[in-house]
Amino acid sequence: MYFKRKELEKFRSLKGLLIDVRSPSEYYKGHMPNSINIPLFDNDERSIIGTIYKKQGREKAVIEGLKFLEKKIELLLDKLFMNIDSHKIIPEKNSNELSIRIYCSRGGMRSQSIAWLLEKYKFNPITLKGGYKTYRRWILDSFSKKWNIVIIGGKTGTGKTRLLSLLEKNKYQTIDLEGFACHRGSTFGGLGMRKQPSNEQFENIIAEKLNSFKCSNNIFVEAESANIGKCRIPHEFFNQMKKSRRIEILRSESNRLDELIDTYSVFKKEELQESLLRIKKRLGPQRTKIALESINNEKWDLVCRSVLDYYDKCYEFEKVGKTNIKLLDLTDKKYDERILELINNVL
């Protein structure tokens, strides 16, 4: 396994074109970031070959695979060369500085077949020994490392995400879990966001970012529950978050209302009302009615005040980093570079 890890480190360090030759469903479930999916077999073809392999053995499965490949070889080569051209990779001159990297599930026949094809055209492709399986072991091991996490906490509307963006802009080490999950972690969390990644891909993105950091330096992470929409924070990493230092952001109610109005008033009324109805049992009939009417009449302060009361009650159950808290009062302060000094003084 150590040998495979060394191979993976070398594979990841190379620049150029990264090709995932697995089926589209495998790719969707999880893939190496920045990879391009050029599948050797589509989902149905992979299923058929897999069934033949189990029932009739490897040789029969290979023959069936070759039949599929024969029908699409021209199209496959067109996709490969289109991406090779876009990366300006030249035959016989691609090197460690600008390479063609290929991986499949276990580093077996699919990646080796594509590599063989490209070698016929005088390219020098590199395949990943152990394939995506080795990569995933590396991903999961990443969460067991000791990370120097600092939690950014605070009630809804204190501008935690905006503060995290400010830290990122100023070269601090940050993990934007909500950004990676494409969800803000509340009933309104999916508004204006892209489709959420699979949970496996969510883990891949987090681990890649973590492994670009220095372990000894602070890593700022917003306080979250274990689930962000449909994505779940890796168990080992979430356990570290729960025991980490925490900076608790304090802001006035008017500051928080302004923050929520700025964030959510830009969305369509129908989308806001649909999101609100998901928590109508918890809001109660009276508050739900007021909030829905307020959305319709664009009385954003009343909408946000109703929601604020609900989320303040939920906040009491949030426990990430609650054992080592430093308070930071940012009431009426602008979220600019001057705040960074206040954060450094608190740590």
Residue 3 scores a pLDDT above 60: no
Looking at residue 208, what is its pLDDT? 96
Exposed / middle / buried, residue 336 (Cβ in 10 Å: 0-12, 13-18, 19+): exposed
pLDDT digit string, tens, across residues 156-181: 889 999 999 999 999 999 999 999 99
Q: What span, in angstroms and rounded, lies between the C-alpha atoms of 240 and 170?
A: 24
Average confidence (pLDDT) over 60-66: 83
Q: What span, in angstroms and rounded, lies between the C-alpha atoms of 139 and 131?
A: 13
Domain architecture of the chain: domains with CATH: 2-140 (3.40.250.10), 145-346 (3.40.50)
Q: Is the pTM of this model over 0.75?
A: yes
Mention every residue, 6+ apart, whose C-beta is less than 8 A from residue 110: 21, 22, 40, 41, 104
pLDDT digit string, tens, across residues 88-106: 888 876 665 789 999 999 9
The pLDDT mean for the chain works out to: 89
Residue 317 banded pLDDT, cuts 50, 70, 90? low
Q: How many residues does the chain have?
A: 347
**Catalytic center residues:** 104
Q: What span, in angstroms and rounded, lies between the C-alpha atoms of 106 and 32?
A: 14
